[in-house]
């Protein structure tokens, strides 16, 4: 995270000289962004005391979740605005486990808000940075099926929780005309602070086994691009 923030600062330094050249009337009152989003998400935290091949496949593994990102920014001053941000990302994938198969369906919904600084200048390229805070709803559905002596063993669980989340990052817009910009890149460090939680695991013969998942910080990276309307 520290390296990412330093890179963002260094990328914005060249436009510092152009800030004072922007007339007040050149800024938008508001802008709307809509585009594609890819969330590089870490897996669910592992079960306490468990060491299992299925857990190794599911827990702690990073996966790419596809979806969309939408945001509305209202500007209070020439460069400072308040942004409301919503994103939906999902991934459904099959897993291979010893002696059988499995699947993991993951969904993450972010609802965030916070300050945005946009570095308007006299060129067509406009960088921006922001710090957003709010909540993320994370849902995991996992199941496995193994061949065992005497038949087939099936295990499954579902967990769905809402936790505190942030998005720290920024990006670059390129002006197409007076009303439309192309957001060529938006990068956010998107941590989700998962709490401890209890789940019910459906085991063989329909047995329900209570398990407890440890809380952790889920270090996600969200990449987006799309169109900005003013």
Q: What is the pTM of this model?
A: 0.73
Question: Cα dist. 166→103, 174, 200, 227 in Å?
Answer: 28, 25, 28, 23
- The residue with tokens 């600062």 is 9
Instruction: Check: CB of residue 113 under 8 Å from CB of residue 131.
Output: no
Which of 45, 111, 119 is closest to 84 using CA atoms?
111
More confident residue, 217 or 71: 71
pLDDT band at 148, cuts 50/70/90? low
Give the H or E element holding residue 99: none
Question: Cα dist. 92→26, 55, 142, 181, 225 in Å?
Answer: 44, 17, 10, 32, 22
Asked whether residue 223 carries a pLDDT value surpassing 90, the answer given is: yes
Distance CA 103, CA 105 (A): 7
pLDDT, one tens digit per residue, over 21-60 is 444 455 568 999 999 999 998 765 544 444 444 444 555 5
Looking at residue 224, its pLDDT comes to 97
pLDDT band at 109, cuts 50/70/90? very high
Mean pLDDT of 179-206: 80
């Amino acid at each position: 995270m520290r390296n990412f923030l330093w890179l963002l600062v260094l990328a914005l330094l060249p436009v510092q000289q152009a800030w004072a050249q922007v007339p007040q009337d050149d800024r938008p009152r508001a802008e709307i962004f809509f585009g594609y989003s890819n969330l590089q998400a870490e897996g669910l935290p592992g079960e306490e005391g468990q060491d299992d091949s299925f857990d190794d496949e599911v827990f702690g593994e990073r996966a790419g979740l596809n979806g969309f990102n939408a945001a509305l920014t209202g500007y209070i001053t020439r460069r400072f605005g308040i942004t409301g941000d919503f994103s939906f990302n999902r991934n459904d994938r099959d897993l291979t486990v010893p002696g059988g198969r499995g699947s993991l369906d993951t969904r993450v919904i972010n609802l965030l808000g916070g300050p945005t600084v946009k570095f308007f200048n006299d060129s067509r390229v406009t960088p921006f940075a922001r710090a957003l805070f709010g909540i993320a709803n994370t849902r995991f559905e996992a199941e496995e099926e193994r061949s065992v002596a005497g038949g087939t063993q099936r295990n499954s669980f579902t967990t769905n929780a809402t936790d505190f989340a942030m998005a720290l990052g920024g990006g670059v817009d390129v002006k197409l005309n007076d009303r439309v910009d192309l957001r060529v890149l938006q990068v956010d460090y998107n941590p989700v602070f998962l709490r401890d939680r209890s789940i019910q695991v459906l085991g063989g013969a329909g047995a329900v086994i209570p398990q407890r998942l440890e809380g952790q910080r889920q270090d996600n990276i969200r990449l987006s691009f799309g169109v900005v309307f003013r």
